[in-house]
Amino acid sequence: MTKVVGPFTKSSYSGQQGNCVEVAPTITGGRAVRDSKNPHGPLLYAAPDSWHAFLTGVKDSR
């Protein structure tokens, strides 16, 4: 299993609402994503290339 190495953070656009996702860096350079309402719940892991492709898609509105 991939190890989370940084703190989980959420977007500044989230405000104080509880319906957010949080993201943290992993030891492999990828990211771990979790539901802010369930911080001890399951994590979704993305490898570095997958995370980069996801961000590119979001920026390009795909």
| Structure tokens belonging to residue 44 | 């979704």
pLDDT above 70 as % of the chain: 92
For residue 49, is pLDDT > 90?
A: yes
Token digits for 9?
């953070």
Beta bridge partners of 25: 31
In angstroms and rounded to an integer, the radius of gyration of the C-alpha atoms of the chain is 12
Average pLDDT, the chain: 89
Q: What is the mean pLDDT of residues 8-17?
A: 80
Per-residue pLDDT band for 44 (boundaries 50, 70, 90) equals very high
Q: Is pLDDT at 31 greater than 90 in this prediction?
A: yes
CA distance 8 to 24: 4
Sequence-distant (≥ 6) Cβ neighbours of residue 31 within 8 angstroms: 23, 24, 25, 45, 46, 51
Q: How many residues does the chain have?
A: 62
